[in-house]
Amino acid sequence: MTECKHIEIVDKKRCSGCTACLSVCPKGCISMQEDEEGFLYPIVDDAVCIQCGKCVKVCPYSHSEFANKPEEEELALCYAAYNKNDEVRYQSSSGGMFRALADKIIADGGVVFGAAFDKDFLVEHTYAETLEGLLPLMGSKYLQSRMGNSFSEVKRFLKEGRKVLFTGCGCQIAGLKRFLNHDDRNLVCVDLICHGVHSPRIWQSYLYSLFSDDKVEYVNFRDKRTGQDNSSVVIKGLKSQVCEKKKDFLYFKSWQYGLFTRPSCEVCPFKSDNRVSDITISDCWGFRKIAPELYDDKGLSSVVIHTDKGKLLFDAVASQLVFKETLLDDVKQYNSDYIRSIPFNAAKRKAFWKDYRKDEIPFGRLLTKHLRESKRQQTARFVKKGIKKCLSLLGLRKS
């Protein structure tokens, strides 16, 4: 009996759904199909598969120079920065760094890949070749994006000699580089400091619970009408809308437990010093220590440059930015998602999905049941917050 040589997902913590396997298959016999949690995984059509093993070799969870950082030290240049264009900064989740980088690539006749909402407000990876086309790619999405044939499109543009800026999560960039199997000089990859991606199925259930008799027209996970530090979630339908401070938005409280986050996000291998991108961008948390003189609550980014290609692009847009050099240790201290994943609460996750599959509780009540804090939890959180504030004022804890 011959050994199976095609991709087969046994441990879901070792598949991010990047589509490298689908993209490399010479017979097109791999499709991405939803599991019971709404996440996409590769499924092979055995009747068509020729057992070439390319899908196994390309997987970024296998050992590869394009899925792991080389042992020599990377650049690790760090900046706190924001875009001088106030309109762009307001439309962005943080300091508008994506637009500064993307605008340059477009100006050079290149192509920019990123995540956009589709007509159903699910998320897909797509590309833009104009400044107007960049608008849907701006802003945080927080969902697992469908990659479609993005990897093959990137390869096509690179073969045409065009510059490509690819933005995404670290796992997606690892998959892309493994698929390309070489580091093209015209490709610049920008990853985001990621907390994990939510299930598209759960997001759809949540939208329906809010707008069951309405049509959703607009979603913004990071509306800055209340500032960057206290941003709001805004969802508008034809007849109604939701506007709530992000920190109070019940849906996002799931992150502390990993209730409906993709399993691979709990043990992401593409964090810390194994980021295979050229540049990493994120909110500049810890701004009071890192760059208080730059912070005006309109948006401030942390930028970590890993490669010479990343530095060349940053230098090319520096005149459009207000920035100062900072330390990588500051990023790691104030944004723990840079270096590690947050462990899931296995018991709470199991209980949530058990209730969800029963389909006996309206979804809004289901979230309340599994995420609403008890009075004891609220009291403990306020006490802990008060202690931290006191220690900070006394100079016993870094602010």
Beta strands in 119-185 (DSSP E): 123-128, 164-168
Helix%, strand%, coil% for the chain, nearest 5? 40, 20, 40
Q: What pLDDT score was predicted for residue 95?
A: 95
The dihedral sign for the CA sequence 21, 262, 98, 113: positive
Q: Taking the complete model, does pTM exceed 0.85, yes or no?
A: yes
Mean pLDDT for each consecutive 10-residue tract of the chain (399 residues)?
Answer: 74 96 96 97 96 94 74 77 96 95 98 97 97 96 94 98 97 96 95 94 94 94 88 93 89 90 95 91 93 94 95 98 95 93 94 94 92 57 54 48
Q: Residue 361 in 3-state DSSP?
A: coil
pLDDT attached to residue 1: 34
Bridge partners for 236 per DSSP:
218, 241
Q: For the residues of 23-84, what is the DSSP string, one character each?
A: HH-TT--EEEEE-TTS-EEEEE-TTT-----HHHHH-TTS--TTTS--SSPP--EEEEEEES
Residue-wise DSSP of 292-329: GGG--SS--EEEEE-SHHHHHHHHHHGGGEEEEEE-HH
User: Is residue 217 helix, strand or coil?
Assistant: strand
pLDDT the model gives residue 359: 87
**Of the candidates 140, 191, 195, which has an alpha carbon nearest to the alpha carbon of residue 305?**
191
Q: Coil, helix or strand for 282?
A: strand
Nearest of 142, 141, 133, 134 to residue 96 by alpha carbon: 134
Orientation angle between helical segments 200-210 and 363-371, nearest 10 degrees: 110
